[in-house]
Homo-oligomer: A and B are copies of this chain.
Amino acid sequence: MTAINLASKLATFTDHWSPRIVAEYNGNDIMVVKVKGEFTWHSHADTDDLFLVLKGSLTIRLRDGDVHLGPGELFVVPKGIEHCPVAEDEVHLLLIEPCGTPNTGDVITAVAKQRI
């Protein structure tokens, strides 16, 4: 059993909005992802959505205002709340979602999460 280095995991890929699973905690995927640009507005009916910024600046748009996050800052979008992550420049994130949660809130449009 060894430590999981998040920067090393992030260095293994370059694509955006495609989370990689790096660990599991009680049936939740611990993921890293690179994002840039604007995602889609979506919500998760059954789960909160945790974002921790590792590098860069992220805006999470909510219907009643924006949340701005820098490195070392986190935000939990409560379940059922519509949100739209936006990154002007590339941002590196740690995400936590229950295993199998579609990243868009919709299994049709979701990307498959790879384990690395």
Contact = CB atoms under 8 A, between A and B. Distances in A.
Contacts of A26: 28, 47-48, 79, 98
Given A23-B74, A47-B26, A62 B3 contact: no
A5 to B, nearest CB: 5
Given A30-B50, A50-B30, A75 B4 contact: yes
A20 to B, nearest CB: 14
A6 interface: yes
Tell me what chain A mostly uses at the interface: helix, strand, loop, or mixed.
Answer: strand
Contacts of A50: 23, 25, 30
A72 B1 contact: no
Interface bin, chain A: 20 to 34
B76 A25 contact: yes
Given A3-B69, A23-B50, 16 more contacts: A1-B62, A2-B67, A2-B75, A3-B70, A3-B73, A3-B75, A4-B74, A6-B72, A22-B74, A24-B48, A25-B96, A26-B28, A26-B79, A30-B50, A30-B76, A54-B72
